[in-house]
Homo-oligomer: A and B are copies of this chain.
């Protein structure tokens, strides 16, 4: 396998198997002089961590990050920033069963064909635990951008839990929510129906079932001019970033799937930001809005995990999607520096 590097100018390389000694991230290309915000890193890792409530899997490791390089006296040196997290709860014995019986919905058999080895879970890289490295990388992207564009914000939430969706009233309210406010809702579903959603998730867990869902990401305070006009349109990079996260199956940008049944006079005429803050592949300065669809998790098919499975993964995916958005924005922010002589 190669392709464990994300980004061209602000680059994240990730490594680590879920059953190995550690996972990690190396950030290359982060400019020198960025203030290191240890609290932000910790908070983002905690937000991703499973086992925070009865709603998610019970894996309860602490995910303590150790910075090995790139930071000196509270600032980035301009050198690669390496961060590792030990696997305290690796339990590779759990995978013994899997070695003989590939799990439906997982990629075990595909990996076997591709890489020729019988290691469970594709070397542990197809596990959700890999996303920890993304959150580390995204946190540094956030530190860099927050210093350069203080008003830039990326906030994600759950917009759908199985068949339960946000109402219009919910949507109006969310405009003013920050991440802390979102986190205060069960399943990060910021709705009057939050309790209902929670109940549905717990019922699915008990029944050995799982639920699909939708995450939404809103980026505000976006600097204009991010994105390159042909292959690296901002929307193309954001779509790839979101679809690189496991269990995703669709991504919408701006007005998304709504646009296909509209007419031009109706669509382009109004004052609303129907373009999702991106025109010609380049940010306009308006808000960027994304919707990401997730399959119901396939862990229900894993007999070995019975009772410990995660019935709804969107909640936990939100900090990961936010991280991916930060990484794309940081990459294009550096890119923009060479647009003009």
Which A residues fall within an 8 A CB radius of B?
A: 1-6, 9, 11, 13-17, 20-24, 26, 28-29, 31-34, 66-70, 72-73, 75-82, 84, 104-107, 110-111, 113-117, 119, 122-126, 130, 144, 147-148, 160, 162-163, 204, 207-214, 224-225, 228-233, 235-244, 246, 248-257, 259-268, 274-276, 279-284, 293-298, 300-301, 311, 334-341
B80 contacts A68, C-beta separation under 8 Å: no
Q: Do B296 and A338 have beta carbons less than 8 Å apart?
A: no
- Cβ A15 vs Cβ B293 within 8 A: no
Contact call A32/B115, Cβ cutoff below 8 A? yes
Bound CA span A276–B80, Å: 27
Number of copies: 4
Q: Are A212 and B113 neighbours in the complex by a CB distance under 8 Å? A: no
The answer to whether A33 touches B77 (Cβ under 8 A) is no
Q: Is the CB of B254 within 8 A of A249?
A: yes
- Are B232 and A3 touching (Cβ within 8 A)? yes
Distance between Cα atoms of A255 and B295 in the complex (Å): 9
Q: In the complex, A124 Cα to B255 Cα: how many Å?
A: 26
Find the B residue at minimum CB distance from A126.
B280
Chain B residue at smallest Cβ distance from A327: B231
With a cutoff of 8 Å between Cβ atoms, the chain B residues found around residue A279 in the complex are 105-107, 110
Q: Taking CB as reference atom, which chain B residue is nearest A86?
A: B68
Are B22 and A230 neighbours in the complex by a CB distance under 8 Å? no
Contact call A114/B250, Cβ cutoff below 8 A: no
* Cβ contacts A to B, 21 pairs, < 8 Å: A1-B228, A1-B230, A3-B231, A9-B338, A14-B231, A15-B68, A21-B68, A32-B116, A34-B341, A70-B123, A110-B284, A111-B229, A162-B262, A204-B263, A204-B264, A212-B261, A249-B256, A255-B295, A264-B296, A268-B296, A274-B295
Given A17-B72, A119-B72, A163-B261, residue A239 in contact with residue B243 (CB < 8 A):
yes
**Residues from chain B with Cβ under 8 Å of A122 in the complex:** 229, 280
Asked if A265 and B209 make an inter-chain contact with CB atoms under 8 angstroms apart, the answer reads yes
For the A-B complex with A72-B117, A110-B282, A334-B338 known, give 8 more contacts whose Cβ atoms are closer than 8 Å.
Answer: A2-B29, A13-B26, A31-B339, A125-B229, A148-B341, A204-B263, A257-B257, A264-B311
